[in-house]
Structure 1
Amino acid sequence: MSKLSSLAVACLAVLLTQAGITLYLPSLPVIIQELNTDAYFAQLSLSLFLLGMAMPMLLWGKVAAHLGSHNMLIGALLLYGVCGLALTVTSNDLQFLALRLVQGATAGALSVAGRALLPERFEGKRLTQAFSWLSLCFVLSLGAAQFLGALLATFAGWRSTFAVPAIASVLLGLGLSRLTQPHQHPHQATAFWTDYIVLLNTPSFIRPVLAGGFGYAIIVVFNAHAPLLFQHQFNWTSLEYGLLGWPISIAYLLGTRIAHRTASTQSESAALSRAMLLLVVAAGMMSTASAMDGSSAIWVVLPYCLILVGQGIGYPLCQSLASRQTVGHSAQAMALVGFVHQTMAALAAAGSSLMHLSTGALLGLTCLALAIAAKLSARPKKE
């Protein structure tokens, strides 16, 4: 595949992966009712998916290194599609949660293989720009996919929110299987943990990874609690909540475009630190303003959009800065980045589900704690 084709395939892979997180969110109240379960099911269904993504991710990095990112991408697409189709016929909450865990594992393989394509084909500033394009797919999954999920749920039922990405995954996998495989450089066999231990002991790798992970955890915690918060406290309908996807998309899009420009004009380490500072300011605004006026959703929506601008800037930068420390080991690097991020997000979502974040102020305080941790991780190392 050409560089442009590889970028397009990586973007589609990430879009499909993230659709497993956001597409069904507007349907959560309906799913809870139909499967006869409770509100904890909402956070648990997301936490299990993220946990499933994280647990075998390091294994996927080794598999991709030996089989090739192209081959693993095809297999991951097909498995991800099968799990999605199985979710469309689930009949009880335990079955649903078990399938979400398995679907998360296949999504982890898809994410690793898709992202590993970029360091294999781009370098330097162009790699940061490639990651910023990849973040556009995250924009679509945050906003447009949320809106699409609301439309699907309204007009075709909640099961269609799993059927559509499943069918798309299978079709993409079958299409890629017909393409000529790119040349795969031989990979020197090492012990399973060797590459990962070296990366974890490299400060220039792990610091931006942690910064991006804390920012990602904010988004996951928000998505875990927002559907019930908006539909119960602010009396929004599923469709109204889906419409929130558009300002969310615009905010993250703005951030990714700033990151794209930053890659050519500024110090990326300093830019990452400033982006994380924006997260702190925005989360502080959410907690303070919501405590003063808890009846208005605007004090949750506007600060969250600012958080997304900051994360849209920071996430491509953190991935690019981290991957530059890993020449010749892109699959393992992307696997470790994914493992750290998904583990952090799953723990944050699971922990927040125990705290009953039923108001914008409480949600804002949780986001603020994560934002401060992101800012501390992103501080440029003093020489």
Structure 2
Amino acid sequence: MKNSTTLTLACCSAFLAQVGISSYLPAVPAIAHALPGAEDHVALALAIYLVGMALPMLLWGSLGERFGRKPVLLAALAVYASASAAIPSAFNVEAFLSLRLIQGLGAGGVSVMARVLVRDSFSGALLAKGLSWLGMTFVIALGVGQFVGSLLLVTFGWEAIFYGLAIGAVVLMVVLQRVEFPMRAKVDLSVCAWRTYVLIVRYPPFLHAALAGGLGYGVIIAFNTCAPLILQGRFEWSAAQYGWLGWPISAAYLVGALMVNRFVARTGRLMMMGWGVTLVLAGTTVMLLGSVFASELAVLLWLPYCLAIVGQSMSYPISLSLASDESPVSGSYAMALSGFMHQWMAALIGGVASLLVSQQAWPLSLLCVALAGGAGMCVARCRADQNALRKISSI
């Protein structure tokens, strides 16, 4: 029962952090029109948010070990709520991007603590299942957030999107005050946190699993960076139409996450992660072919992307669980380091994608294929790592 409560709170926290990515996307043209800045500058808000999430993740993880999960999570939510409430008052694009950076700083702490709470409660295949619930929350946030953001935009204006995020953070803070988190294993606080992180990242089984998840995550970030201007520009979708796209995206991620919940214990984590990355590569390849040979059909952009989403929702929670279980150090360090790596990768990929923003879909599709191919190479390295560990253990 206590583990279920913890998982629910972790999912709510992850939802709030990730909805900051998607909820404003339908409003990108409206924000660009309202602020004295070009659309491509406003498009940087996604990459800036991801940089903010990445910057303090290792610090959040260390603070979580020193002061406990609840105080650190409450502090992160306070930063997130404050920045979200201030964003509507931004008077130019520079102020808007600065506040998005601060919002991301808080979201990074919320995201790390959500994963750490799951790590505290589960291990092995059960950890993969628990993280798959976080994965469902992640893309439901992308899809539902996108849809709700479009409704708020049409009804109240783009400012209401950020006020809604602030209110959500405050509500979660009130709930957390009434909940006791499960006991956790004590760690040696005399050990330097930064040396611990270096030790973990230099361990190949951790590194390859973490990279596989991060590259797949980059496909989602690249699409979210470029798709609003492609679909609302070249294909002349309205903000409401773009918002509706969130539903098939959410359904696709739900399918993949449910497959992990149902089959991961039976098939094994590495095999299921391989299947997931294969689907990501297949979906992005169809995106590329469609953007080259049938560029007038929007369905050949978003429908194969949904297939890639199914694959990513299968591979991502497994990559996190493998990275955590293979870490040479216990505690929140491995989860914080995985999140740090993923957010920096996402920020870099989002920055590259923002340079590719145009009304043509093939640059986005080519980037997605390259990321999926990289993830496939990392999965192959994970298999090699596991075989090497088996040989060592048999000696």
Given that 1:357 and 1:363 are in contact with CA atoms closer than 8 Å, whether structure 2 keeps it comes out as no
Distance 1:175 1:46 in 2: 28
Runs (5+) with no aligned partner, structure 1 = none
Report the residue type matching 1:321 in the other structure: L
Q: What is the SS of the residue equivalent to 1:281?
A: helix
1:27 is aligned to 27
Distance 1:254 1:208 in 2: 22
2:391 is aligned to none
Indicate yes or no: 2:259 matched with 1:258: yes
Runs (5+) with no aligned partner, structure 2 = 389-395
Distance 2:181 2:302 in 1: 45
Report the residue type matching 2:255 in the other structure: L
Given that 1:128 and 1:317 are in contact with CA atoms closer than 8 Å, whether structure 2 keeps it comes out as yes
Distance 1:42 1:11 in 2: 29
Indicate yes or no: 2:209 matched with 1:201: no
Distance 1:42 1:293 in 2: 29
1:56 is aligned to 56
Distance 2:240 2:379 in 1: 37
Q: What is the SS of the residue equivalent to 1:296?
A: coil
2:232 is aligned to 231
Indicate yes or no: 2:222 matched with 1:221: yes
2:282 is aligned to 281
Given that 2:200 and 2:329 are in contact with CA atoms closer than 8 Å, whether structure 1 keeps it comes out as no
What TM-score does the superposition give when structure 2 sets the normalisation length? 0.94
What TM-score does the superposition give when structure 1 sets the normalisation length? 0.97
Per the TM alignment, residue 25 of structure 1 is displaced from its structure 2 partner at its CA by 0.4
Per the TM alignment, residue 168 of structure 1 is displaced from its structure 2 partner at its CA by 1.2
Q: 1:357 to 1:283 in 2, by over 3 A?
A: farther
1:309 is aligned to 310
CA offset digits 1:1-47 (Å, max 9, x no partner): 81011000000000000011000100000000000211222331111
Report the residue type matching 1:256 in the other structure: A
2:319 is aligned to 318
Distance 1:57 1:329 in 2: 17
Q: 1:182 to 1:280 in 2, by over 3 A?
A: closer
Per the TM alignment, residue 354 of structure 1 is displaced from its structure 2 partner at its CA by 2.0
Report the residue type matching 2:364 in the other structure: L
Q: What is the SS of the residue equivalent to 1:188?
A: coil
2:47 is aligned to 47
Per the TM alignment, residue 184 of structure 1 is displaced from its structure 2 partner at its CA by 4.7
Correspondences of 1:1-383 after superposition (within 5 Å)? 2-180=2-180, 182-189=182-189, 190-326=191-327, 329-379=330-380, 380-381=383-384, 382-383=387-388
Q: What is the SS of the residue equivalent to 2:187?
A: coil
Runs of 4 or more, structure 1, over 6 Å off, are none
Per the TM alignment, residue 123 of structure 1 is displaced from its structure 2 partner at its CA by 1.5
After alignment, is 125-134 or 238-247 more displaced?
125-134
Paired residue total: 383
Identity in percent: 37
Distance 1:364 1:5 in 2: 40
Q: 1:120 to 1:156 in 2, by over 3 A?
A: same
Per the TM alignment, residue 175 of structure 1 is displaced from its structure 2 partner at its CA by 2.4
Given that 2:52 and 2:105 are in contact with CA atoms closer than 8 Å, whether structure 1 keeps it comes out as yes
Given that 2:16 and 2:165 are in contact with CA atoms closer than 8 Å, whether structure 1 keeps it comes out as yes
Q: 1:356 to 1:179 in 2, by over 3 A?
A: closer
Q: 1:213 to 1:357 in 2, by over 3 A?
A: farther
Given that 1:43 and 1:350 are in contact with CA atoms closer than 8 Å, whether structure 2 keeps it comes out as no
CA offset digits 1:225-255 (Å, max 9, x no partner): 1111000100000000000011111111111
Distance 1:133 1:73 in 2: 19
Given that 2:274 and 2:376 are in contact with CA atoms closer than 8 Å, whether structure 1 keeps it comes out as yes
Q: 1:64 to 1:305 in 2, by over 3 A?
A: same
Distance 2:267 2:181 in 1: 36
Q: What is the SS of the residue equivalent to 2:63?
A: helix
Distance 1:181 1:292 in 2: 54
Given that 2:28 and 2:39 are in contact with CA atoms closer than 8 Å, whether structure 1 keeps it comes out as no
CA offset digits 1:43-99 (Å, max 9, x no partner): 311111101111111111111111111221111112211111011222211111000
Per the TM alignment, residue 105 of structure 1 is displaced from its structure 2 partner at its CA by 0.8
Per the TM alignment, residue 369 of structure 1 is displaced from its structure 2 partner at its CA by 0.6
Distance 1:7 1:328 in 2: 23
Distance 1:143 1:333 in 2: 28
Alpha-carbon RMSD:
1.5
Report the residue type matching 1:123 in the other structure: S
Per the TM alignment, residue 182 of structure 1 is displaced from its structure 2 partner at its CA by 4.2
Distance 1:133 1:175 in 2: 20
Distance 2:114 2:88 in 1: 25
Given that 1:27 and 1:158 are in contact with CA atoms closer than 8 Å, whether structure 2 keeps it comes out as yes
Given that 1:69 and 1:331 are in contact with CA atoms closer than 8 Å, whether structure 2 keeps it comes out as no
Distance 1:229 1:97 in 2: 22
Report the residue type matching 1:64 in the other structure: G
After alignment, is 4-13 or 123-132 more displaced?
123-132
Given that 1:75 and 1:173 are in contact with CA atoms closer than 8 Å, whether structure 2 keeps it comes out as no
Per the TM alignment, residue 141 of structure 1 is displaced from its structure 2 partner at its CA by 1.1
Q: What is the SS of the residue equivalent to 2:356?
A: coil
After alignment, is 363-372 or 270-279 more displaced?
270-279
